[in-house]
Structure 1
């Protein structure tokens, strides 16, 4: 058992120290702005670094190799550990959050969900606002790394469809993985800088531009004001649309495009499906609003595009309370919640490729009904899709809706109404952020929910971010008997 945990805890130690280093940034902001939050970050950083050093000293393995069981354990433990360490400053601030609220806010941040229990953000100390934004940015790069290297290797939910040489996890693949990791970080940082500059040129303050760039590229959705993005001009909203869409696309394709510039990136089945779904949904919502309201067409188009892209990429920004746009709009946004972005992106949701595989599987079944003796090959991105990938994708979809049902019922048991329970469960599992209704809708937040509901939603956010199966495997007796 020690051999199973030792390398995993060693990696957890390195990540705890990394989190302590990241806390130095809001410390500097606290000193520069004199917002009195320096002790909170100083103590939290010391605790995180101390625990990290202990894990490193007592768990240094002789030979560092990770097998599949250890990777399952590593992905789950790291997200849980980072959530608790990142919550420490929120419990030590001058106006501390309760343990429940701090963990909820940290989990929402590190999983790039964007649900919040904090209000009066316009008067919140700058160091705390920056820390929330940094959590989402850190979580975003973690999501990309997990999606391109770990989940394909573990064959989670059809992700083996995107397996590369860097998903091998053998010794010979380590140099390739390190090269990919460096490239991903550089692309991620570069895109964040471009987004911040674009926001700044469009009229944001430097502080707002940095914070919103961190949460836009990571498709997280934390803002520096209770009004979210509703206080900014149309140019800023369109900039957000562009970078939210980029954040919802596979980052490995950006690396390929930079190394070998070619517009063939647009021929990727995921990207084409992603773009066409957005265009279709925005068109439908624009026409519905144009025919039923007297607002200016460009205003309708801007609001429709921004909010559709925000929800489908699971960013969770809001520029308006779209629950006031009528029952059709509410129903549309509810179903859009489940779609998500592309695999290998920072976004959550069920992912575009699973809907595409489901359509291809349905079309294949229809052909077989008409031609029982025919032989048909399902292809995705020009490659044949094997049966195990199809089975894995179907298993994920079944598990997703099973967990959605259980989470909804659990939230209802805490006393929440049906709409809040259902949309709260959906937005947590898909890592979107806002739900629907007066309580957790785009104009509300999660502060008034009972503590039991917040713990349920925190678990659901981690489950959704880990693609469900990664954490569920740990609950299986087979895992511990292996």
Structure 2
């Protein structure tokens, strides 16, 4: 992984002319460090056992994401931006976890090689997240992900051929969507540089932009609708696209996650547009208002983090709606963060079961989701994830408040990093601002929160628990 990262580190310099890559030395030094770490690791572990038991997989998954975040921050730290270590780590972690929160401003005039590196980081993080959700987390039985286990989630010799086939399919789909997004933006009026960056970050549901105004820079309903479509694509289960590609037609729209996800994105923007029209006394242009609302709702639900305007100023109801939308997230097996649609659906199944038990105490109930039985193990795993998520939200909010940040900033910053949404709703780190004014310690805490959220929290908690290391 470190050697691959070093290869991608030279791409910003290779893709841009020398005059547009003033930080070439920083990228070369960073690539050399990553390559050195990777080569040393290979030499030190040559001939070691490679049996990937769950305990080893937990360590590998958590440590690799943390170390990759640190190494990918080297170009920012060594560049002429004069960032502190905490700021460089925050920016790279936000990129690799596809969160989209930033401490940088003046993006419109920033060196293009650094802007391109931010987008590449999110694109790499996106494909890494898909692979983790499809093959690793079901194997580790984290947060109810066992529900999506396939033969390719089993790390056995028998399953390896299927895993290779699935991996190739996921990469082909991800590359195809990325290329289509780049070309679509380019043909719609973006410069090739802007189109390339936004194409990568749209499919990765990352949200890094080349302008401080984010997507508001382009002032085009067409581009906002295109971005909405690509954010939706990135938030759908990629393994279902692979199945469609292999002739299993219709599986995408038969999936319960997908149907609820699309329903949310159809209903809520329409209701919010009506609300905005009402409080504006009819002065809001309905078409422009709906496109803008649809785009920003999709950006928050898919945890992308783009913004076309300051939606936190749309009125009290819109503020509250956006706050709760930050919890939702996309579908499992996508690049999106959040709590995921399937957990809300499983919660409703359990709630219905409990209500029916009150009416029929002796009845026997079966739980099914997408035509598959839901075991008590999956429900218990989901409940554990929900509890640890809320506990983490509480602790990070308290930590932010202890650093003298206001309640809204503390709460929404904690929530946005755990769900990997990007912007919060407070005066610091909101859709119209960034996280630069926060104290250094807050940036460290929020960076760890981004990694915890991306790794489904429980993975990190397990590795940090003393019981994990006793045997």
Q: TM-score range by the shorter chain?
A: over 0.9
Q: Does 1:387 align with 2:376?
A: yes
Cα distance in structure 2, aligned partners of 1:68 and 1:241: 38
Find the counterpart in structure 2 of residue 246 from structure 1.
Answer: 233
Q: Deviations over 1:406-449 (max 9, x none)?
A: 01001111111110000000000000000012211100000000
Runs of 4 or more consecutive aligned structure 1 residues displaced over 4 Å after TM superposition: none
- One of 2, 14, 24 as aligned partner of 1:28: 14
Residue 31 of structure 1 contacts residue 38 of structure 1 at CA under 8 Å; is this kept in 2?
no
- One of 192, 196, 204 as aligned partner of 1:210: 196
Find the counterpart in structure 2 of residue 262 from structure 1.
Answer: 249
Q: Does 1:315 align with 2:304?
A: yes
Residue 29 of structure 1 contacts residue 126 of structure 1 at CA under 8 Å; is this kept in 2?
no
Cα distance in structure 1, aligned partners of 2:81 and 2:363: 68
Cα distance in structure 2, aligned partners of 1:338 and 1:94: 37
Aligned to 2:73, what secondary structure does the other structure show?
A: helix
Give 1:61 shift.
3.3
Give 1:35 shift.
3.5
Aligned to 2:216, what secondary structure does the other structure show?
A: coil
Q: Does 1:69 align with 2:55?
A: yes
Cα distance in structure 2, aligned partners of 1:419 and 1:151: 32
Q: Does 1:231 align with 2:217?
A: yes
Aligned to 1:170, what secondary structure does the other structure show?
A: coil
Cα distance in structure 2, aligned partners of 1:277 and 1:357: 17
Cα distance in structure 1, aligned partners of 2:48 and 2:59: 19
Residue 250 of structure 1 contacts residue 345 of structure 1 at CA under 8 Å; is this kept in 2?
yes
Give 1:97 shift.
1.2
Residue 16 of structure 2 contacts residue 113 of structure 2 at CA under 8 Å; is this kept in 1?
yes
- One of 452, 456, 471 as aligned partner of 1:467: 456
Residue 418 of structure 2 contacts residue 449 of structure 2 at CA under 8 Å; is this kept in 1?
yes
Q: Does 1:287 align with 2:256?
A: no
Residue 107 of structure 2 contacts residue 212 of structure 2 at CA under 8 Å; is this kept in 1?
yes
Cα distance in structure 2, aligned partners of 1:187 and 1:177: 15
1:70-85 mapped onto 2 (5 Å cutoff): 70-85=56-71
Give the TM-score taking structure 2 as reference length.
Answer: 0.98
Find the counterpart in structure 1 of residue 327 from structure 2.
Answer: 338
Cα distance in structure 1, aligned partners of 2:94 and 2:432: 17
Gaps of 5+ in 1: 1-14
Aligned to 1:230, what secondary structure does the other structure show?
A: helix
- One of 290, 294, 297 as aligned partner of 1:301: 290
Root-mean-square deviation (CA, aligned residues, Å) is 1.0
Find the counterpart in structure 1 of residue 392 from structure 2.
Answer: 403
Structure 1 stretch 166-175 or stretch 38-47: which is displaced more? 166-175
Give 1:95 shift.
2.4
Give the TM-score taking structure 1 as reference length.
Answer: 0.96
Q: Does 1:433 align with 2:422?
A: yes
Cα distance in structure 1, aligned partners of 2:110 and 2:175: 26
Q: Does 1:39 align with 2:25?
A: yes
Cα distance in structure 2, aligned partners of 1:376 and 1:262: 31
- One of 170, 174, 199 as aligned partner of 2:156: 170
Gaps of 5+ in 2: none
Structure 1 stretch 21-30 or stretch 79-88: which is displaced more? 21-30
Count of residue pairs brought into register by the alignment:
468
Find the counterpart in structure 2 of residue 11 from structure 1.
Answer: none
